[in-house]
Amino acid sequence: MSNKPMYRQIADALRDKITTGELKPGDALPTESSLQEAFGVSRVTIRQALKRLTEEQIIESIQGSGSYVKEERVNYDIYQLTGFYEKLADRNVDTHSDVKIFEVIKADARMAETLNIKPEDKIWHVKRVRFIKQKPVNLEETWMPLAMFADLTWEVMENSKYHYIEQIKKMAIDRSEQELVPVMPSQEAIAALALDPTKPILEKVSRGFLKDGRVFEYSRNVFNTDDYKFTLVARRRQ
């Protein structure tokens, strides 16, 4: 009989299932009720075991959904201009976007200057939450000139914006000028991404340019930094 507290024995048993591959990254753990029944313990004991695995960053809890085996963080290569779906192409995981706002508005003076258009010109304003499986990982707000993308649809923004621009509109994307800033999460970001309100996050502000020099988008993204790592290669000046 083990001298370990029961919650640690349960944590060890679940960790073994993860280590051996019985439970894979992204898989849902059994419900608290199922674990209670399986181990014959109280819900408090189960929650202690899950808390231990969460602290070890082996599992994560998604409010209203349950506990999941933690996946490897998405590598965000700052020097590689790729879209959300392209960054995850080699992971073979389910992804989707939940569009929260899809509207046409008039550009104010500041946004007109950012997009190199005239004040009062119409622009798309789109806000969406990006998901890896059931987990929200990115909140994106985008503004795009209506004149360039008159046929943009809700369905396009549920999928890949870059695919639409390059494959449907036949436009050549050149670059994105980006700035990364540490910020405290807004109430909107906390609600959308289930963030810790006391923990700073990263906000990426970017302007996208076509090869002909036109600005095709201005975007703000906030990331759950538990799910992303940002990398770059710095070379010594010769």
- In terms of domains, do 85 and 62 share one? no
Q: Which of 69, 104, 122 is the last residue of a domain?
A: 69
- In terms of domains, do 154 and 92 share one? yes
10-residue mean pLDDT profile of the chain (238 residues): values are: 80 88 81 89 90 82 74 61 52 77 96 96 95 82 96 93 92 90 92 87 91 96 75 70
Which domain CATH number covers 160? 3.40.1410.10
- In terms of domains, do 57 and 110 share one? no
CB atoms within 10 A of CB 145: 21
Q: Which of 44, 69, 94 is the last residue of a domain?
A: 69
- In terms of domains, do 201 and 129 share one? yes
Please, what is the angle between helix 32-39 and helix 6-19, to 10°? 110
- In terms of domains, do 46 and 146 share one? no
- In terms of domains, do 33 and 128 share one? no
- In terms of domains, do 139 and 35 share one? no
Which domain CATH number covers 60? 1.10.10.10
Q: Which residue has the tokens 């960054």?
A: 87
- Coil/strand/helix, residue 203: strand
- In terms of domains, do 103 and 206 share one? yes
Query: Are the CB atoms for 59 and 68 separated by under 8 Å?
Result: yes
In a domain, 191, yes or no: yes
Q: What's the total number of domains in the chain? A: 2
Query: Are the CB atoms for 157 and 128 separated by under 8 Å?
Result: yes
Q: Which of 69, 94, 109 is the last residue of a domain?
A: 69
Residue 155 DSSP code: H
d(C-alpha 18, C-alpha 9), whole Å: 14
Query: Are the CB atoms for 235 and 198 separated by under 8 Å?
Result: no
Query: Are the CB atoms for 7 and 14 separated by under 8 Å?
Result: no
Write the CB contacts of 211 (distance below 8 Å, at least 6 apart in sequence).
172, 173, 174
What phi and psi, each to the nearest 5 degrees, are found at residue 106? -90, 140
Query: Are the CB atoms for 68 and 60 separated by under 8 Å?
Result: yes
* pLDDT computed for residue 83 by the predictor: 56
Instruction: Count Cβ atoms within 10 A of the Cβ of residue 165 and give its class: 0-12 exposed, 13-18 middle, 19 or more buried.
Output: buried
- In terms of domains, do 110 and 174 share one? yes
- Coil/strand/helix, residue 166: helix
Residue 80 sits in which domain range? Answer: 74-231
- In terms of domains, do 162 and 187 share one? yes
In a domain, 56, yes or no: yes
Q: What is the pTM of this model?
A: 0.69
- In terms of domains, do 64 and 88 share one? no
d(C-alpha 104, C-alpha 99), whole Å: 14
d(C-alpha 220, C-alpha 178), whole Å: 10
* pLDDT computed for residue 217 by the predictor: 96
In a domain, 1, yes or no: no
